[in-house]
Structure 1
Amino acid sequence: MKRWRWVLPLLLPSLSLELAVEVARITAFAVLKCRRIASTPLYKTAVVATVTFCCHGPNSMSFHSIIHRPSSPFNLALQIRFLRGYSLLRDPQYNKGLAFTEKERDAHYLCGLLPPTVITQQLQEKKLMKSIREYQVPLQKYMAMMDLQACIQLIILIFKQHHICLELFEGMKNLLERNERLFYKLLIDNVEELLPVVYTPTVGEACQKYGSIFRRPQGLYISLKEKGKILEVLKNWPERSIQVIVVTDGERILGLGDLGCQCLPVTIDVGTNNEKLLNDEFYIGLRQKRATGKEYYDLLHEFMCAVKQNYGEKVLVQFEDFANHNAFELLAKYGTTHLVFNDDIQGTASVVLAGVVAALKLIGGILADHTFLFLGAGEVKHQFF
């Protein structure tokens, strides 16, 4: 995708024939320049160019000259900024979100930065309107806390088309602001009130409806489509100094079961067996049954090798919310070659053990002198033994 925006003086209709010819000549030169730059592998990206023509005299305009042609009586300021990958997704003017085609994602280094599904902007609008009309429910508070991003021009257009009241529009402004420091300060200073919004119980509903409330990606999505090029996908992530990676395959989320691609921050999308999600028009993951066996483990192995190659041997990989039949297998397989950790298996048990050790220091005695009660259903309690 290449886009050019040409900015010309408003006095263009009154230009002399000589100046008009020169403007046309320089315009053609600028177009060829942009195309030549954009065609090189190094700049395989979206190109946004601003060209300003400036004539000498009382009507001249100030500009920063990037290209100067001494032989010409006119100066040309050609400003080219390259948008690709993460930067393209953060540009509200050129970002299309999930509407980027697979070809565009590959060309602009977006693979892995977006969920694998491709949807039209019409469906994006439909989804946004559905969210707006549900704004009074707790889930909308969660969305506001997560500070999801939307394009202000699109919001205004939708509101004009659907005659939404101004008060509701004001409530949507929180979708357009991103202030990470303020987010955490707000949360720390109001833990009791806001923790139920950003975590249990609201986060469970957010996971179940993630496709419906999706605004912009906040992590990496590695699906079966990326098999053979996972290292390239990891390199699309803008941060280089990575110390901890939390990864999930979405099969056992918060006790809610198989939620497929609807998780963060690094999702290994191998499909889902959740029929409700497969039939949901807003679902953002692969629409296929969950891969198992060799196909599954080959993808995980490529991911683990790519992580070590890209970030080094000291990066910690936390396996989050994997089903037990895969969780134990992955820990055993990579426990001696990678720095790995499973919070659901090792984390819960270590916290309970730490609590018991601390309690013994307070009340005295030895572990054998005490009786312990494990209350509740599920497999978590078995991890303590």
Structure 2
Amino acid sequence: MSKPEQTAQAALFVSSTGSDLLANSLLNKGTAFTAEEREAFKLKGLLPGRIESLQQQAARAYHQYNSFSEAINKHIYLRMLQDANETLFYYLLEQHLDEMMPVIYTPTVGEACEQFSEIYRRPRGLFISYPDRHRIKELLDNVDHQDIKVIVVTDGSRILGLGDQGAGGMGIPIGKLSLYTACAGIDPAVTLPVMLDVGTNNPQLLDNPLYIGWQHKRISDHDYDAFVDLFIEAAQTKWPDVLLQFEDFEQQKALPLLQRYRQQICCFNDDIQGTASVTVGTLLAACKVKGEQLRDQTLVFAGAGSAGCGIAEQIVTQMQAEGLTQAEARSRIYMVDRQGLLSSDMQGLFDFQQQLAQSADKLKHWPVDSTFISLADTIKFSAATVLIGVSGQPGLFDEAMVKQLHSQCQRPIIFPLSNPSSRVEAVPSDLLHWTQGQAIIATGSPFKPVKLNDQWIPIAQCNNSYIFPGIGLAVIAGNIHSITDEMLTQASEVLAEASPAGQSAGENPALLPALDDVFELSQTIAFSVIKVAQSQGLAAEMDDSQIHHAIKQHLWRPRYRPYQVAKQALDQVYAETFDNECKQQK
């Protein structure tokens, strides 16, 4: 990715001075404050004498980052840097995004959430605890920056594949919003991570004397729904045009929350819709490699939770766009959960699962016990060509299953998507060896290239950061009022078009673009999504050149701006000077 050159910018008027200015992570420049700024803002003596450039600061920060060997310690360092100087933090990410993304987000963020109370240092974001449910408006007023455009909210109930992490789940909104800025240039000053602290059912946290959340069992469903209603109402009243992203809610609540609020506020669930969009985009790229369409595939899912079913529904939409009827599309998708293959005669299925259950009459013809149809039998008797893992069960895809899949399909598509990497259904090296290098693979967590027959095969990471930052940029730049399935489908198609493997006949091209290219990709996605939103009457009216201009206008880049003293600060300086003169006269 080409790095933008530093350009002259208009001065920013700043009212904070001295230690208050240095403590403001959005305004702090550290050793990069000029001599004039140090004098004007009362920083003389509070900083070392040398004046450095942003590039020099970044070189020191990268040296410090590399002094840590464990990923969790690198994560802690980057979070501390973010809390001290956000411009430097994002500049460092810009220079090393591919290297640092796994550290600030998946998979390291999972460990950070598990240790959140132990590694907690400085506050970031907004913690809204259930006992404060009648003071939510007041809590929102306590936010330093009031022009909020993007909120990522969680209740910590299902963090990645790690389960209930309570208040420790705040690591997820913080990490996601870092990627909104790093991958799409959204100003960090307009973002807000929110933790809805409704307690935890994790016994380790309830017994942990260091736990910093509300140390109480999770509240009842009735109280929960009322509490979320209070939050949504307060957030929408204060910021009517805000984009609200639901993140890592347990599956019993994730889809109902999305369905309840998606017509009320501009919102989406990244676990359901973002994961679905990036997975469909990656599937489309994989199908291009095979010279086929998605409609030609038969897919088996290991895991039928909200994420898996969200992906499946997006696949149904894409297959319909390719000419299948809805019934034909659903007949090509097989969902396997703990109780085996979902079938229409099963009891206790969620509504979102029932729509994807296979007809019991159809399955009667399979030579298996229909009371429990295993994943292995489903792969075999469905004649599957695609296997997707969203189960959180490490090692679930064994050699026999994968070889069976390969026997049915020369180039099987296998996506073990569970996060973090400790929960992955199979590691890419095994999948490639079991299929003689023929499997087309994408994973949820990052994996290094695999060497096979003296060739290095890159492993695509089916990373939501390919999609959600561009969606956020589209909402802000296009003044989009609601996020629709068609917008997410369009984002998938843009991602597929950017696939190096779909464009090149070279040796082992990557299935997805490099993460270093995601900043430009986000802008392309934003433009395409705004066009779809306009066609649906859900965005501001602009021609193409105006859309491009609006996108560029909303790009924040980590560069230091010159500061001038704001009138409030000057008034304070004058008042202090007057007081000092009076004291001297006395």
Which range, TM-score by smaller chain?
0.5 to 0.7
Residue 223 of structure 1 corresponds to: 129
Q: Deviations over 1:229-264 (max 9, x none)?
A: 101110110112111111001000011111111133
Superposed CA offset, 1:62-108 (max 9, x none): xxxxxxxxxxxxxxxxxxx9xxxxx79959xxxxxxxxxxxxxxxxx
Give the superposed CA RMSD: 3.0
Partner of 2:338: none
Give distance in 1, aligned partners of 2:254 and 2:88.
Answer: 36
Q: Where do 1:343-358 residues align within 5 Å? A: 343-357=270-284
Aligned to 1:146: 79
Deviations 1:153-204 (A, max 9, x none): xxxxxxxxxxxxxxxxxxxxxxxx8222221222232334433332333221
> 1:384 deviation in Å?
2.1
Letter in 1 for 2:75: Y
- What amino acid is aligned across from residue 156 of structure 2 in structure 1? G
Deviations 1:105-136 (A, max 9, x none): xxxxxxxxxxxxxxxxxxxxxxxxxxxxxx87
Question: Which residue identity does 1:370 align to in structure 2?
Answer: Q
* Alpha-carbon distance between aligned partners in 2 of 1:88 and 1:290, rounded to the nearest angstrom: 39
Deviation at residue 361 of structure 1 after TM alignment: 6.2
The 1-side partners of 2:103 and 2:276 are apart by: 27
What corresponds to 1:368 in structure 2? 295
Aligned to 1:290: 218
- Alignment of 1:250 with 2:156, yes or no, is yes
What CA distance in whole angstroms lies between the structure 2 residues aligned with 1:198 and 1:350? Answer: 22
| Residue 208 (structure 2) pairs with residue 273 (structure 1) | no
Q: Please, what TM-score do these two structures have when normalized by structure 2?
A: 0.36
Asked if residue 331 in structure 1 is aligned to residue 258 in structure 2, the reply is yes
Q: With CA pairs under 8 Å and 6+ residues apart, which has the higher RCO, 1 or 2? A: 2
365 and 137 in structure 1: CA distance in 2 versus 1, 3 angstrom threshold: closer
Corresponding residue of 1:381: 308
- 2:237 corresponds, among 292, 309, 315, to 309
Indicate the residue corresponding to 1:77 in structure 2: none
Residue 232 of structure 1 pairs with residue 138 of structure 2: yes
The CA distance in 1 between the partners of 2:206 and 2:101, in whole Å, is 31
Q: Is the 8 A contact 1:220 1:266 kept in 2?
A: yes
* Rg larger for: 1
Q: Residue type matched to 1:226 in 2?
A: D
Partner secondary structure for residue 237 of structure 1:
coil
Return closer, same or farther for 1:359/1:196 CA change in 2, 3 Å cut-off.
Answer: closer
CA distance in structure 1 between the partners assigned to 2:114 and 2:296 by the alignment: 44
Correspondence for 2:102: 196
Q: 1:341 to 1:202 in 2, by over 3 A?
A: same
Aligned residue for 1:211? 117
- Listed as ranges, the gaps of 5+ residues in structure 2 are 1-15, 25-67, 171-192, 313-586
Contact 1:148 1:216 in 2 (8 A): no
CA contact (8 A) 2:81 2:89 kept: no
**In structure 1, the residue corresponding to 2:309 is in which secondary structure?**
helix
- Is this contact kept in 1: 2:23–2:84, CA < 8 A? no
**What CA distance in whole angstroms lies between the structure 1 residues aligned with 2:272 and 2:209?**
34
Q: Distance in 2 between matches of 1:138 and 1:357?
A: 33
Secondary structure of the 1:268 match is strand
How many residue pairs match? The answer is 230
Question: Counterparts of 1:337 and 1:139 in 2: how far apart (Å)?
Answer: 39
Separation of aligned partners in 1, 2:134 and 2:98: 46
Give the gaps of 5 or more residues in structure 1. 1-80, 82-86, 92-134, 150-176
